Amino acid sequence: MIEKVRHHCGVFGVIGHPEAARLTRLGLYALQHRGQESAGIVSTDGKTMFERKRLGLVSEVFPDEKSISHLKGDAAIGHNRYSTTGTTLPVNTQPFLINFYRGQIAAAHNGNLVNVSVLRERMEHEGSIFRTTTDSEVVLHLIAHSRRHTIPEMIADALGRVKGAFSMVFLTKDMVIGVKDPFSFRPLVIGHKDDAHFIASESCAFDLIDVELDRCLKPGEMVVLRRGKEPEHIFPWGKTEPGKEAACIFEFIYFSRPDSIVFGAPVDKIRRRMGWKLAEEHPVDADIVISVPDSSNTAALGFSEKSEIPFELGLIRNHYVGRTFIQPTQIIRESGVKLKYNPVDGVLRDKRVVVVDDSIVRGTTSRQLVKMLRDSGAAEVHMRIASPPIVAPCYYGIDTPEKKQLIAANKSIDEIRKYLGADSLGYLSLEGMLSIKGLPPMGFCTACFGTEYPVPIQDQGGKNKMDNNSQ
């Protein structure tokens, strides 16, 4: 298997457009990199709610016009999922649509909550019944239990009781609501096109459908979008003190697409500068710089610019390896890297090669890549990593393995170099990364690099922590 830290999810919402479901489908296509396990859309015409969600890629769940023809109305929300809580079950696909005493509400969540097991247990003892094994369903129960008057107030009340990372979109018959946690872990952007209002995890979802980006949501901000009205902006828990945010720095390192703007900054620019900084911190005599496509392309270009070592395409990625084809059987595990990457012998032969990658998790992929490059005739292989060593798991919506499986948590840099079989190895330093010009002026979460967790973790047990309750 190709090892990478994985995103949690991508969310999208629109209101006031006659082709709401069609635009949501396109928005989800653009956000496919944020989650590949399932996709779903809930729409409304103001009277009825319509839904379709399945396991699979957006192109599999919504392959044609027919697949969205019943999703009527001028408002919709959509979701791409990669699970960080709850296993890959059809029942866990989002958006969730529920009926409660105030009508219907649908919800889509990007992030991960860190106190839901405790809340869920309490609610189960009080008689609540859960259908899914996700943290997002707990939020819906909390909304249904709230005795506040308006839907935005009920959502604020519910989310005020959970802890962790949430960038969520909700749909009722009258409104689309987007809300971000006060720490601002995950991105959320708003935009408009004519009289329609939009919300999405990343701005790349807007580019595809010619939506004008208005801005990124602020930490702890809720935006209420209604037909024919100006957006209403609320800070239900007050404004976050500047510097107290904990935006996930990994959105700049790897998760967000380079053509997106997140947290108010263009990802391409920041990622390129991470490559510059890496070249400054770990210079090397070499003939060519290559990336591990596609995720480290931008950082490798930055490294090449700063070091003045030419950038070459030394690895070609096969984009068409389907998820179902990559099964964790022994034979696939052994050839997993070859399935995805093929070295270009003519580029690599007798060259001193700098390989820039965005991160190392377990190290198994990097080790196979180094061997592959040597087999193709590379004279030297120098690994350069455009982020600090990952030494701790993430609890805020990113699927990282346990500490014992993180290579940097268990080996020194030189031990990692030896394990990978590289001639040299250099990681971007934490200080270097945080000093990059152009980073938005806000606090960042860097907990997986060994700093304190910004929100204490109450739930333990990884992504399937709630599955035992239900299976």
Segment near ligand SF4 (CB under 6 A); pick from 7-15, 70-78, 310-318, 439-447: 439-447
Smallest distance from the beta carbon of 179 to ligand SF4, in angstroms? 18
Between 179 and 373, name the residue whose CB sits nearer to ligand SF4.
Answer: 179
Task: Write each residue from 345 to 384 as x if it is in contact with ligand SF4 (CB under 6 A), else as -, in one continuous string.
Answer: ----------------------------------------
Smallest distance from the beta carbon of 343 to ligand SF4, in angstroms? 29
Q: Structure tokens of 426? A: 């250099």
Q: Looking at 370, 386, 445, 455, which residue binds ligand SF4 (CB under 6 A)?
A: 445
Judged by CB under 6 A, does residue 394 bind ligand SF4?
yes
Smallest distance from the beta carbon of 185 to ligand SF4, in angstroms? 5
Smallest distance from the beta carbon of 295 to ligand SF4, in angstroms? 14
Smallest distance from the beta carbon of 459 to ligand SF4, in angstroms? 15
Asked if 56 and 1 count as a contact pair (C-beta separation under 8 A), the reply is: no
C-alpha span between 128 and 390 (Å, rounded): 38
Judged by CB under 6 A, does residue 279 bind ligand SF4?
no
Which residue has the closest beta carbon to ligand SF4? 394
Segment near ligand SF4 (CB under 6 A); pick from 54-62, 189-197, 204-212, 440-448: 440-448
Q: Structure tokens of 42? A: 């809930």
Smallest distance from the beta carbon of 451 to ligand SF4, in angstroms? 9
The CA-based diameter of the chain, rounded to the nearest angstrom, is 71
Q: Looking at 11, 447, 455, 466, which residue binds ligand SF4 (CB under 6 A)?
A: 447
Query: What is the distance between the terminal CA atoms of the chain, rounded to a whole angstrom?
Result: 26
364-375 and 413-420 helices cross at what angle (nearest 10)?
A: 50
Sheet strands (E) in 89-136: 96-100, 103-110
Angle made by CA atoms 295, 296, 302, in degrees to the nearest 5: 140
Between 86 and 111, name the residue whose CB sits nearer to ligand SF4.
Answer: 111
Between 146 and 400, name the residue whose CB sits nearer to ligand SF4.
Answer: 400
Ramachandran bin of 122, using left for φ above 0, alpha for ψ from -120 to 50, beta for the remaining angles: alpha
User: Facing residues of 39 across strands?
Assistant: 54, 80
SS3 label, residue 70: coil
Sheet strands (E) in 161-231: 167-171, 175-180, 189-193, 196-200, 212-216, 222-226
Between 422 and 448, name the residue whose CB sits nearer to ligand SF4.
Answer: 448
Smallest distance from the beta carbon of 424 to ligand SF4, in angstroms? 25
Spatial CA neighbour of 187 closest among 171, 169, 207, 209: 169
Q: Looking at 28, 76, 448, 466, which residue binds ligand SF4 (CB under 6 A)?
A: 448
Q: Looking at 62, 82, 396, 427, which residue binds ligand SF4 (CB under 6 A)?
A: 396
Segment near ligand SF4 (CB under 6 A); pick from 32-40, 89-97, 391-399, 416-424: 391-399
Pairing of strands 96-100, 49-55: unpaired
Between 62 and 396, name the residue whose CB sits nearer to ligand SF4.
Answer: 396
Asked if 178 and 169 count as a contact pair (C-beta separation under 8 A), the reply is: yes
Active-site residue flag, 394: no
User: Facing residues of 178 across strands?
Assistant: 169, 223
C-alpha span between 301 and 86 (Å, rounded): 37
Judged by CB under 6 A, does residue 44 bind ligand SF4?
no
Between 4 and 193, name the residue whose CB sits nearer to ligand SF4.
Answer: 4
Residues 172-211 contacting ligand SF4, CB under 6 A:
185
C-alpha span between 387 and 379 (Å, rounded): 25
Between 76 and 448, name the residue whose CB sits nearer to ligand SF4.
Answer: 448
Residues 237-256 contacting ligand SF4, CB under 6 A:
248-250
Compute how many other C-beta atoms are within 10 angstroms of the C-beta atom of residue 408.
Answer: 24
Asked if 237 and 13 count as a contact pair (C-beta separation under 8 A), the reply is: no
Asked if 11 and 109 count as a contact pair (C-beta separation under 8 A), the reply is: yes
Q: Structure tokens of 209? A: 């459908």
Judged by CB under 6 A, does residue 9 bind ligand SF4?
no
Smallest distance from the beta carbon of 32 to ligand SF4, in angstroms? 20
Judged by CB under 6 A, does residue 446 bind ligand SF4?
yes
Asked if 160 and 237 count as a contact pair (C-beta separation under 8 A), the reply is: yes
Between 95 and 393, name the residue whose CB sits nearer to ligand SF4.
Answer: 393
C-alpha span between 114 and 135 (Å, rounded): 9
The residues annotated with a catalytic role in the active site are 9
Residues lying near ligand SF4 in the complex (CB under 6 A) are found at 185, 248-250, 394, 396, 398, 445-448
